[in-house]
Structure 1
Amino acid sequence: MRLLLILALLLLSILKTGNFATANQLKADGKVLELDESNFDSAISSFDYILVDFYAPWCGHCKRLSPQLDEAAPVLAGLKEPIVIAKVNADKHTRLARKYDIDAYPTLMLFMHGVYTEYYGPRKADLLVQYLKKFVAPDVSILSSDAAINDFIEAAGSFFPIYIGFGLNETVISNLAVKYKKKAWFSVAKDFSEDAMVLYDFDKVPALVALHQSYKQQSIFYGPFEDEYLGDFIKQNLLPLVVPLNHETLKLLKDEKRKVVLAITADENEEQSQNLIKFLKAAASANRDLVFGHVGVKQWEDFADKFGVNEKTKLPKMIVWDGEEEYFSVVGIESLDNEDQGSQISHFLEGYKAGRTERKKVKGPSFMEFIHSLIGIRTIYIIVFIVAMMMLIQSVGKDDEPVRDGRRDEIHHAESSVSSEAESSQKKED
């Protein structure tokens, strides 16, 4: 009995030593942590904020990202609310990759108090630091002077919209600030000059100013400051009036419930396209129940092709997209002329709201993209290998002399075996 007690105490001591070693390894010391199945959950529970890079050693993008993370790690670890950077070899630790649906490399996940969200921000070290500071900032910053307002806006950068409540009590927007913390900066200016009122173009208080620095755009809200109306203003101004669609901005529409009025032009940088964008902004101001966007065929031909645009299509083309698989064209106003485009856009919107539309399907992804989205690149490699082996076996069989019955049975057995392996591999991946 005494021997069992000694062994139990010894085992407990070993376990405690192991836990202590793990805790020592998980420090916010400015170094990028290497995680695997044995310490991943412990790391997520140990740190309030942790950015995890799921990478593959053979991935070129991963290799270019790695030094940027190394550079950003000590800066983020030194914040008042530290952010830890970690990495997982998803090619090796496949259980973790499957758990978080990792199907591309690198994939960055930001864990905040154990809850994760995919990171879509910049990946250069200094910009990554500026972007992530948003997530550890106060829900509502209190600004007490014009200088404090300027410093706040400069520190916020241009990745997120900025809301400043002039003469507004922070409790009025605190709940909404928590709700949209991942998408915008929120602040309240307690003291400011008339110069600030001129600069931010409001003439009475209280007022809530929404700024989109990257688009040089701002909107003013004078109330009523009730949750319903205030929430609508904040939600509608999370996006600029007109969104230029590209790989990055398309992610902003992921949770958007409003339909997208999309103008497809030949080249979004041409003067005619820039003039069209001005008309779209005017229409967007008057139709906040819709999102307005534009894309140039020259800038993103594959995306424009999904809406049936080809070399014969008259541009600019106008459609209303549901953000997923369907879009609508307005009968008689599919394209715009160069003259009086403002009126044509108004007629287009009237036709859409009156139901004079034709429903169409967005062109689906290519076969390889579809397969990749369903089962991942690793399974593709397995399937390609199996198919190649089957073709090789069949080729060998054809090149030989006529086969005796016994030999033919062996080949048939080999093909059945390969087929069974393919099915087994597919089931495991699924």
Structure 2
Amino acid sequence: MHTARNFALGLLAAAAVATASDVEQLKKDTFDDFVKTNDIVLAEFFAPWCGHCKALAPEYEEAATSLKEKDIRLAKIDCTEETELCQQHGVEGYPTLKVFRGLDNVSPYKGPRKAAAITSYMIKQSLPAVSTLTKDTLEEFKKADKVVLVAFFDAADKASNETFSKVADKLRDNYPFGATNDAALAEAEGVTAPAIVLYKEFDEGKAVFTEKFDAEAIEKFTKTAATPLIGEVGPETYSDYMSSGLPLAYIFAETAEERKEISDLLKPVAEAQRGVVNFATIDAKAFGAHAGNLNLKTDKFPAFAIQETVKNQKFPYDQEKAITLEDIKTFVDDFVAGKVDPSIKSEPIPETQEGPVTVVVAKNYNDIVLDDTKDVLLEFYAPWCGHCKALAPKYEELAALYAKSEFKDKVVIAKVDATLNDVPDEVQGFPTIKLFPAGSKSEAVTYSGARTVEDLIKFIAENGKYKASVSEEGEEASAAPAATESTTSEAAKQTEDHDEL
């Protein structure tokens, strides 16, 4: 009897351990006190049915455990139960992550949704924009993240101090910044003030900036030196490469050994183009479907391609040719010189436009979307996207309303299959809806509201040149969270062996 009772108690204790969490679940009556009593809090506003929230959960738990010892707390709020609290904090989609330094200092979380990235981001957020360093704290600070920057300048050099602080304020989400005016410490590190040393866990270990302290020059140095000579594209690094402003050269290979072999082979090219083109390997077994997004075949590796990230142009290297140092050098040099034409993937232009929604493809994109005389609402969709399918009948209704209104020649409701057509716009999830106003096509406005006909009409009326508003007929569509599905190819969606970037 006692044995059975002890066994039962043991099971309960084990269950308690298994369910123990370092993520604090907050409610309306506990939220304010928790935020006030902790210096910094990362809060996740979620819904139990949300697929992206479920994917985030184990990463969030792991980060919470890592950060607890640093007195950085992670919390979560169930918005299906705490609707008022979530509305109060402007939550429109799930998951929404916000960084709280008290109730009045709130900023969006801007990092990837992986444990290591969350941990790194929050450590940087917990530090001052510039940490004051001494000989006793420098070595520990060097290990604060994969990349840290330390400025060495004289105490009287206020101009260098102010410039460095300005850069630190701008880039604090990306890197920890430290500074010291200890001349002996500068000498020990092999530099003469004023100077900046970027310490990193890869490549040559550090890079030194000794030019005049100019904010733009420091930023350029930082972004170049902080990027591995030949890095790796994956879920934690993809967004950084896309936002770097530099073209990205992909090296696709199926094994780690082959990726290293090709990286070593192409290292001279990467060194010659450092700061001009970023180079990175990508696991073709896990992310081979991404090759299709670069207009490469998805079943023939190794492969090489360059993506012009700003214009979203693709330059695939002929997969029938071997990857040699000489040929890749010529290909990259020609790309930099503007001698390589981009590859454009496009469906055929429709012979006739059937239905009220105008079908856009890459070959007619400029003619329709960039028509300066019309307000164009464009949906970027994927055939496999469930949210896109749910939107389709409402979008058809919206298009029909404008087609028979006085604005039929001034407003275009259009859609493009972004998996089959190369578009110049950055699309990070499906569906993405943008309005391109007449007369100011470069100022496209991204829609983030509820996907109802009524709200889309308001959006067009408020942001279009013609302030075009039409009356909705029939029953009003119900409001739904503006959820999106991350971009990936159909092959990646349907094959469990492939992950999305």
TM-score clears 0.5: yes
Q: How many residues align?
A: 334
Query: Aligned to 1:291, which of 257, 263, 278?
Result: 278
Match of 2:178, SS? Answer: strand
Q: Which amino acid aligns with 1:164?
A: V
Match of 1:13 in 2: none
| Paired residues of 1:264 and 1:295 also in contact (CA < 8 A) | yes
In 2, Cα distance between the equivalents of 1:69 and 1:100?
Answer: 22
1:264 is aligned to 2:256: no
Query: Aligned to 2:100, which of 111, 116, 136?
Result: 111
1:302 is aligned to 2:295: no
1:89 is aligned to 2:146: no
- Taking a change above 3 Å as real, the CA distance of residues 31 and 234 of structure 1, as seen in their structure-2 partners, is closer
Q: Which amino acid aligns with 1:354?
A: G
| Paired residues of 1:54 and 1:88 also in contact (CA < 8 A) | yes
Q: What TM-score do you get using the length of structure 2 for normalisation?
A: 0.55
CA shift digits 1:27-56 (9 cap, x unpaired): xxx9825134x7768977887632112334
| Paired residues of 2:142 and 2:199 also in contact (CA < 8 A) | no
1:345 is aligned to 2:332: no
Match of 1:424 in 2: 477
Match of 1:368 in 2: 385
Cα-Cα RMSD:
4.2
Match of 1:192 in 2: 185
| Paired residues of 1:319 and 1:328 also in contact (CA < 8 A) | yes
After TM superposition, the structure 1 stretch with the greater mean CA deviation from structure 2, 38-47 or 266-275, is 38-47
- Taking a change above 3 Å as real, the CA distance of residues 119 and 275 of structure 1, as seen in their structure-2 partners, is closer
Match of 1:32 in 2: 24
Match of 2:189, SS? Answer: helix
- Taking a change above 3 Å as real, the CA distance of residues 40 and 283 of structure 1, as seen in their structure-2 partners, is farther
In 2, Cα distance between the equivalents of 1:231 and 1:349?
Answer: 25
Match of 1:177 in 2: 168
Q: Which amino acid aligns with 2:129?
A: D
In 2, Cα distance between the equivalents of 1:129 and 1:292?
Answer: 26
Match of 2:149 in 1: 163
In the TM superposition, what is the alpha-carbon distance from 1:119 to its structure 2 partner? 4.2
Match of 1:318 in 2: 305
Structure 1: unaligned runs, 5 residues or longer? 1-29, 78-82, 381-419
| Paired residues of 2:253 and 2:303 also in contact (CA < 8 A) | yes
In 2, Cα distance between the equivalents of 1:207 and 1:306?
Answer: 42
CA shift digits 1:97-118 (9 cap, x unpaired): 89434345xx543235122224
- Taking a change above 3 Å as real, the CA distance of residues 49 and 265 of structure 1, as seen in their structure-2 partners, is same
Report the structure number with the largest CA radius of gyration.
Answer: 1
In the TM superposition, what is the alpha-carbon distance from 1:351 to its structure 2 partner? 3.7
In 1, Cα distance between the equivalents of 2:324 and 2:68?
Answer: 56
Structure 2: unaligned runs, 5 residues or longer? 1-21, 348-380, 389-428, 433-449, 452-473, 483-501
In the TM superposition, what is the alpha-carbon distance from 1:184 to its structure 2 partner? 0.7
In the TM superposition, what is the alpha-carbon distance from 1:134 to its structure 2 partner? 1.7
In 2, Cα distance between the equivalents of 1:207 and 1:294?
Answer: 32
Q: Which amino acid aligns with 1:182?
A: D
Match of 1:88, SS? Answer: strand
Match of 1:357, SS? Answer: coil
Match of 1:348, SS? Answer: helix
Match of 2:313 in 1: 327
What fraction of aligned residue pairs are identical, expressed as a percent? 16
In the TM superposition, what is the alpha-carbon distance from 1:266 to its structure 2 partner? 4.1
CA shift digits 1:79-130 (9 cap, x unpaired): xxxx4432111344467389434345xx543235122224436537xx9666
| Paired residues of 2:249 and 2:307 also in contact (CA < 8 A) | yes
Q: Which amino acid aligns with 1:210?
A: L
Query: Aligned to 2:235, which of 228, 247, 252?
Result: 247
Which structure has more helix as a fraction of its residues? 1
Match of 1:360, SS? Answer: coil
